[in-house]
Amino acid sequence: MSKKVKDFGIEKTLKNLGIKDENKGTSTGGKYFASGKTIESYSPVDGNLIAKVKTSGESDYDKVLETAQNAFKEFRLIPAPKRGEIVRQLGQKLRQYKNDLGKLVSYEMGKSLQEGLGEVQEMIDICDFAVGVSRQLHGYTMHSERPGHRMYEQYHPLGIVGIITAFNFPVAVWSWNTALAWICGNVTIWKPSEKTPLCAVACQNIMNEVLKENNLPEGISSVLVADHEIGQKLVDDKRVALISFTGSTRVGRMVSANVAQRFGKSILELGGNNAIIISQDADINMSIIGAVFGAVGTAGQRCTSTRRLIIHESVYDEVKNRLVKAYGQLKIGNPLDESNHVGPLIDTDAVNMYQEAIKKGKKEGAKFIVEGEVLKGKGYESGCYVKPCIAEVKNSYEIVQHETFAPILYLIKYKTLEEAIAIQNDVPQGLSSAIMTQNLREAELFLSHAGSDCGIANVNIGTSGAEIGGAFGGEKETGGGRESGSDVWKYYMRRQTNTINYTASLPLAQGIKFDL
């Protein structure tokens, strides 16, 4: 490891999480499989090599699937509250490792240390939520139209749940799916992003401790560090009952089609093109805070990042000027330094997309009031640091209609709330949305049938920062399905209607009789 890695204190963090210089990236909780290529994980913070991970090959994949199938046969028979106890113990382990795992998330992915720690806290929170749900996997009892009959419905586990996650939330999204899948009696196979493999190895190492301490079979929790071809096998495999996919709309469209073709289930968390409407009746101070955090948090690499500000013409100039002033105060640098607001993009490919989006925007007529640039010099050696920028645009611009995973904020002016809502909805994506207003009528209209068409709609809160208790997900090209809270557990189970006849006769439908 380089001297710079040691200077950041990462060496001790990696040791505490069981990360070595070279790691086997595929584990079923008991055995390790690694016959594939070796991938190297470089930090976008300083460009240094963190560690290497040996991936799985096709023969490894089949062994992982077989192990998971066998584990499911045993795990599904454990009572749900006892499965909840396993999740509770995982939550306790995450509390124990929170600082180390949060630091690794920050260093391998590039988000601020506060956000890295917050992501681990989300994992802890979903474990707490799932423990409660494990005692409430309820069905319904219905009155039968036939005398002496009782009807009810119940839920059963699906089997193997495949989880494919993106780099921007390298641990939290896995936990959203896993905690609920487990309390429902399923087993999980996690295919993480190749850009953040060490975070996945660390999580599996933590879970291995829980499995071992409870003498549970391997295969309940598996991590499959591999390339996209193995990910495709997971998507196409009939043995995998549910695929939860987080990623681009382009790839998500293919995942959806392939899983549907084999009559599997899918949860899709795809692109977002999120807007905040700032009303003439908004608290401007709150609006600026919400907009800046939403636009530059995680360097604009959240699916819920604020991409567009739709601002009433009467407060447009004030909001614009205050945003320019706020952006001038942003500190960009090492995300492990808590005095910095913005860290790096994930890699130089992301930097290229950022530059290309700015170029396309200017070509279409975007007026940049805060110019973007790639930062160079001391502290920016990785080549992944960029300056958050702001542009005045029309919503119809092609570049505005697409999601760019970078800190580019678009400003759009409106006259009436109906116009603002139409602008908000006039994009292919439908994940998160918000309105800043102190006008009750405006707030209620925004939340009504004639309002936001997104899966998430907030009032006086930005587009980023969803709570565990609410179902998370979007509409339109954002995909479909939900993760995290509410009654999302039902996605991880199959529904069954049961009728019991406790009489000595058998009445038939439509009054049909057989004289036998």
Do β-strands 187-191 and 160-164 pair in parallel, antiparallel, or remain unpaired? parallel
Interval 366-390 mean pLDDT:
97
Kindly state the average pLDDT of the residues 77-104: 98
Tell me the three-class secondary structure of 184-205, residue by residue. Answer: CCCEEEEECCCCCHHHHHHHHH
Give the pLDDT band of residue 13 (cuts 50, 70, 90).
very high
Proportion of the chain above pLDDT 90, given as a percent: 94
Q: What is the pLDDT of residue 5?
A: 46
For residue 109, pLDDT over 70 is answered with yes
What is the model's pLDDT at position 2?
A: 44
- pLDDT over threshold 70, residue 322: yes
CATH homologous superfamily for 274-467?
Aldehyde Dehydrogenase; Chain A, domain 2 (3.40.309.10)
Tens-place pLDDT, residues 62-77: 999 999 999 999 999 9
Q: What is the pLDDT of residues 250-300, one digit of tens each?
A: 999 999 999 999 999 999 999 999 999 999 999 999 999 999 999 999 999
Q: Residue 429 CB: number of other CB atoms within 10 A?
A: 23
Question: Looking at the predicted structure, is the pLDDT value of residue 1 above 50?
Answer: no
What does the chain come to in residues? Answer: 516
pLDDT, position 437: 98
Domain parsing of the chain, residue ranges: 3-270+478-495, 274-467
Instruction: Quote the pTM value.
Output: 0.96
**CA nearest neighbour of 255 among 284, 280, 234:** 234
The band of 513, judged by pLDDT with boundaries at 50, 70 and 90, is confident
* Residues in contact with 320: Cβ distance below 8 Å, sequence separation at least 6, in sequence order: 311, 369, 390, 392, 411
Residue 278 vs residue 2, higher pLDDT: 278
**Cβ(318)–Cβ(284) under 8 Å?**
yes
The two structure tokens encoding residue 492: 């991880």
Mean pLDDT computed over every residue of the chain = 96
Distance, CA of 155 to CA of 157 (rounded, Å): 7
For residues 182-203, average pLDDT? 98
pLDDT band (50, 70, 90) for residue 3: very low
279: its two tokens: 């009303």
At 379-422, the pLDDT tens digits run 999 999 999 999 999 999 999 999 999 999 999 999 999 999 99
Extract the tokens encoding 165.
């996650």
Residue 441 confidence class, pLDDT cut points 50, 70, 90? very high
Could you give the CA distance from residue 233 to residue 62 in angstroms, rounded to a whole number?
A: 10
End-to-end CA distance of the chain: 83
- Residues tagged active-site: 269
What is the third-level CATH fold of 3-270+478-495?
Aldehyde Dehydrogenase; Chain A, domain 1 (3.40.605)
> What's the mean pLDDT in 339-353?
97
Q: What's the average model confidence in pLDDT over 477-491? A: 95
The alpha-helical segments, DSSP class H, found in 214-248 are: 228-236
